[in-house]
Chains A and B, each alone.
Chain A
């Protein structure tokens, strides 16, 4: 195998990781050695473990929040009052709603209602996009006022926590986008919906983190 073959294989595997060869989806490669049920429950267990790591990642930010809020209560009260509660509330509602739609998508694929799955995944992705746009306005409003990460500890935590969360929103959108593309290709059915279920789990986590961030940052004023 020459240099260019290897290079193209690397590029292809980066662009389409799920279609990379050799693949566990191929029945005869021998490493696909367990039944469907094991694969399904294994994938779910793996995802839950991954979600635990995500909680611990944010755990560091929450710990920093707790310490500095105890140390500088006035700064946190003042900072929190300066945030836009209306936009924050709207974003909270949007994310909770998108959690509902992704849950419906998981239920729908189990019943083989492919069209409903497509609609629900589309709505979820659009909700995520609206969330991102709102966040963009919030950030740029703050920047215009001359408030940046590092202005004080409260804003550092605000930008760090919502920024890392925003990153997760984008990753979630990418995951859901890949799932949607595969739904259009007809890859999923009621016998094969593990990917949608664990993708949904990830999206619930994105929602859950925000449900904690919102009151801690916006409502403590």
Chain B
């Protein structure tokens, strides 16, 4: 679509400043991708060490304090620096304007500021590591008030990151309202965009609450405000309410964009129109809405009233409905499709499998009686990682492979990437499946030590990290060394708008804003054959 002589976005300008000051949404997306990639690797190394420590009961390689610091570093960095901004800010930035037929987001400069704020927040977060927090990523009071660590600085860093998240969310929502190409009606909008829209709503509406919570926590440490301190008439459970009012919707900030990715990949490699387009689109919004009403299920054993517990439990079950709708629609899209097992497709299929395990074990935890037994055990850790890695990270990896040709203008070695996938898939399950059993047997989370009878399962879990790490390194190796030659504009015969142009796209995406005349998922239909 773009002219041959026009430079693509990667070639348009060289050097640090041409990236750091760019307002091009594609370059900003790529910069986010690098940044979150770096933090992902640092946080993954922390978890690798934490698992290594569990090879034997008692001290293996580190002290108990170092252990507390490392799992806090792992959790808070993964959550606030990788997975919350993660897919939405990187792929969202890169893809949304391309998918809706726009030349950029509506506030390109604000977009750049959001990225700078992200870097600033990350920098403050890193400075706080001078006296690293040992509170866990949830910063529960009263310990977070008493801890000698640099809690003020790390929470202030997260506050800044929240600002970045809010501004990105606003940018995406307004972009999708105002800049859709002619004919790109809401019911033709790609499902990734629907998911990003729901994510942005959550970012805009939930993040300010964690903002004020962290400000109050800072005030608590600085002035002794007393809101969360029982000695001064406050209530530590209030902190938990505030915290989860954000952090439960944040779970869907993490997972919804990945669901959007799966909705894009599966129809392309099944050569079938997506099944239940509207159901998937509205399910995203339904998940966003319901997710605001379930935060209390993190607090069943905190002493809140029994009636509230029952209500939160029921609503928690309700959030499974739109989630299941998505899963069944993906399965129905696969049904009798002409399935091509590309790397991106493998990650997407693994997503469905692992996310279903993660989702169903979530229902165990949403059930009041079961949760009393499983609360704060490895069962929760396993459930959470099945959703966040099996779900979000696998979706993220699917996107890395799927849009690789579009982003970099090159192809990668599918065979090696598939081997990496197999290693990651096996490694992941070996790490986390034993943790379900450990949790059921009563192994509490975040404990430095454990009873000798748990050792074999702990060791199995640790061996899994070695397999997974090998797979991840192979994946990086494969993606860092693209095949020679230029990628075609549309290697997968996708009908989506971002594939209608050269790979990589020109700086301004479209020479002329296209007019959309048909739905984007018409694979295997008459319209596709004609076009």
Contact = CB atoms under 8 A, between A and B. Distances in A.
Contacts of B238: 64, 67
A22 interface: yes
B113 A46 contact: no
Interface in B1-42: 15-17, 20-24
A41 B178 contact: yes
Contact of A164 (B21, B171, B215): B215
B124 to A, nearest CB: 16
B225 A33 contact: no
B20 A31 contact: no
A153 interface: yes
Nearest to A59: B209
Contacts of A38: 106, 178-179
B445 to A, nearest CB: 27
A53 B225 contact: no
Interface stretch (B47-55, B226-234, B333-341, B357-365): B226-234
B409 interface: no
A148 B233 contact: no
B173 interface: yes
A49 interface: yes
A196 B237 CA distance: 43
Interface residues of B, number: 51
Interface residues of A, number: 50
Nearest to B242: A60
Contact of B174 (A45, A148, A157, A160): A45
Contacts of B323: none
A171 interface: no
Given A31-B24, A64-B216, A150-B224, A46 B209 contact: no
A120 to B, nearest CB: 27
A53 B219 CA distance: 20
Interface in A106-142: none
A45 B174 CA distance: 7
Nearest to B113: A17
A148 B102 contact: no
A38 B244 CA distance: 37
B205 A60 contact: no
Contacts of B328: none
A149 to B, nearest CB: 4
A17 B167 CA distance: 16
Contacts of A45: 173-174, 177-178
A72 interface: yes
A149 B219 contact: yes
A24 B17 contact: no
A159 B175 CA distance: 38
A181 interface: no
Contacts of B178: 34, 38, 41-42, 45
Contacts of B106: 34, 38-39, 42, 46
B15 A150 contact: no
Interface string A80-115: 000000000000000000000000000000000000
A57 B108 contact: no
Interface in B205-228: 205-209, 211-213, 215-216, 219, 223-227
Given A49-B173, A160-B225, 6 more contacts: A17-B109, A45-B174, A46-B174, A57-B212, A149-B219, A164-B215
Interface of B: 15-17, 20-24, 102-104, 106-110, 113, 166, 169-171, 173-174, 177-179, 204-209, 211-213, 215-216, 219, 223-227, 232-235, 238, 242, 507-508
15 contacts: A1-B15, A23-B109, A24-B109, A49-B170, A53-B166, A53-B208, A57-B209, A60-B216, A68-B227, A68-B234, A148-B223, A149-B219, A150-B224, A153-B227, A153-B234
